[in-house]
């Protein structure tokens, strides 16, 4: 039987509760695609970069729990670029170095690290075309580190960009935290948020991650409930 899945990441991955409803993280949506017997331990937290996640001992907490045969899903990039915040900002060389620390934690415990590039932000600059390169050099830096360290990479950034562009500006709004005034009690003034996800978005982008696991094959595909159905369900991708 496959091991547990540990998530390290930010608010786009986090396990939310009723206090932030309807906001949901990809880690929540992932539950629909992963075999029931596989436990998911979600350590993702709002606003974290690789730097702050490590400095707050969150990676150390994973090290204390993760064991042989487990998986460590590593998704960062939204907050590492925030140069105005020295507690979170991570230069590209430091980002690569930090990713290596996550890999070391997994491999020192005989677990399997997986890099996942950050979810694309829903920013349509002219109402038709997505803004280019919203995450700067960080997705490419993660892919380069994956190649250097022989870590599999699921390029969620590229997949989500392609899907959002295909869906279009208006049709994609419902997947993100774009809320009308009075629609939810906790957001009486409404919200215009094109980074964080509603549950529908968490499921949709988790499905892209699941597709990435399918394409990695072998032990990664074995995590999925019904991989053949998933990969052939293109009309809903």
Write down the catalytic residue from 84, 132, 189, 234. 189
Write down the catalytic residue from 49, 196, 228, 232. 196
Give me 53's structure tokens.
């996640």
Is 196 designated active site? yes
What SS3 string covers 32-78? CCECCCCCEEECCCCCCCHHHHHHCCHHHHHHHHCCCCCEEEECCCC
**Considering only CA atoms, which of 63, 27, 33, 138 is closest in space to residue 93?**
138
Is 11 designated active site? yes
Contact 46, 75 (CB under 8 A): no
Write down the catalytic residue from 11, 52, 160, 172. 11
Q: How far apart are CA 98 and CA 151, in angstroms?
A: 14
Is 162 designated active site? no
Q: Report the C-alpha dihedral over residues 78, 80, 84, 88, rounded to 10 degrees.
A: 110
Contact 11, 25 (CB under 8 A): yes
Give me 83's structure tokens.
């140069």
Q: How far apart are CA 68 and CA 114, in angstroms?
A: 15
- Estimate the share of the chain in helix, then strand, then coil, as percent rounded to the nearest 5: 45, 15, 40
**Considering only CA atoms, which of 209, 219, 181, 179 is closest in space to residue 28?**
209
Residues assigned a catalytic role: 11, 189, 196
């Amino acid at each position: 039987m496959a091991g547990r899945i540990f998530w390290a990441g930010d608010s786009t991955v986090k396990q939310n509760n009723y206090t932030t409803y309807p906001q949901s993280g990809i880690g929540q949506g992932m539950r629909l695609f992963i075999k029931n017997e596989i436990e998911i331990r979600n350590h993702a937290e709002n606003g974290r970069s690789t730097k702050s996640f490590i400095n707050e001992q969150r990676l150390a907490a994973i090290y204390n729990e993760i064991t042989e045969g487990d998986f460590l899903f590593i998704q960062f990039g939204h907050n590492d670029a925030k140069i105005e915040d020295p507690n979170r900002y991570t230069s590209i060389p430091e980002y690569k170095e930090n990713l290596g620390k996550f890999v070391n934690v997994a491999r020192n415990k005989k677990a399997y690290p997986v890099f996942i590039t950050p979810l694309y932000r829903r920013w349509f600059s002219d109402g038709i075309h997505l803004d280019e390169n919203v995450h700067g050099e960080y997705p490419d830096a993660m892919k380069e580190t994956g190649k250097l360290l022989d870590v599999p990479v699921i390029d969620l950034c590229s997949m989500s960009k392609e899907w959002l562009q295909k869906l279009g500006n208006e049709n994609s709004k419902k997947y993100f935290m774009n809320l009308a005034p009075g629609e939810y009690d906790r957001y009486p003034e409404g919200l215009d948020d094109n980074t964080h996800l509603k549950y529908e978005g968490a499921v949709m982008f988790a499905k892209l991650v699941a597709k990435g696991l399918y394409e990695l094959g072998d032990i990664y595909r074995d995590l999925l409930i019904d991989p053949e159905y998933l990969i052939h369900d293109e009309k809903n991708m």
